[in-house]
């Protein structure tokens, strides 16, 4: 009987919740498998620093300034994920090398689409930013 439960399950406040109720011969027990999920705000990019880089760059740090970034956020180069360092919820950083150009494209006179893909801890739903152009000189 439900009224005989000593410790009924309390609802979990999260985006993802999977609950399983099992009826045992001794009465009801409540067990839950859940995914604790922090809400994801839409990642937004305000600026890139620098906003243009030379095509013969050996190693140029690129900082993305914006909001809604999480430790799982990734800087995207024309849709491809770059190795990203989370500085704080407003700043991400990556290093652009010749390998970046070789792997993901970009040459003198071109423009690269930079965006941020953010995913909250444990969340299957992500928030992706609009793009800004990075000019390759």
Of residues 20, 18, 43, 12, the one with CA closest to residue 125: 43
**What residues have CB less than 8 Å from 125, skipping those under 6 apart?**
15, 40, 119
Residue 52 has pLDDT above 90, yes or no: yes
Residue 69 has pLDDT above 50, yes or no: yes
How do residues 14-49 score in pLDDT, each as one tens digit? 333 333 333 344 454 444 444 445 555 678 999 999
Residue 50 has pLDDT above 80, yes or no: yes
Is 27 within 8 Å of 2 (Cβ atoms)? no
Residues 89 and 47: their CA atoms lie apart, in Å, by 14
Residues 75 and 69: their CA atoms lie apart, in Å, by 10
Average confidence score pLDDT of the chain = 75
How do residues 80-126 score in pLDDT, each as one tens digit? 999 999 999 999 999 999 999 999 988 889 999 999 998 655 555 46
Going by their DSSP bridges, the two strands 74-77 and 111-119 should be labelled as: antiparallel
Going by their DSSP bridges, the two strands 44-49 and 60-67 should be labelled as: antiparallel
């Amino acid at each position: 009987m439900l009224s005989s439960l000593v410790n009924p399950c309390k609802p979990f406040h999260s985006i993802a919740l999977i609950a399983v109720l099992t009826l045992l011969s001794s009465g009801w027990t409540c067990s839950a498998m859940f995914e604790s999920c922090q809400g994801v705000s839409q990642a937004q990019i305000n600026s890139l620093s620098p906003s243009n880089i030379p095509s013969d760059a050996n190693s140029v740090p690129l900082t993305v300034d914006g909001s809604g970034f999480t430790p799982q956020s990734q800087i995207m180069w024309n849709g491809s994920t770059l190795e990203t360092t989370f500085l704080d919820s407003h700043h991400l950083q990556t290093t652009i090398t010749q390998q970046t150009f070789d792997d993901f494209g970009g040459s003198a006179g071109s423009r690269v689409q930079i965006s941020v893909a953010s995913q909250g801890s444990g969340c299957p739903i992500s928030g992706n930013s609009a793009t800004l152009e990075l000019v390759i000189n």
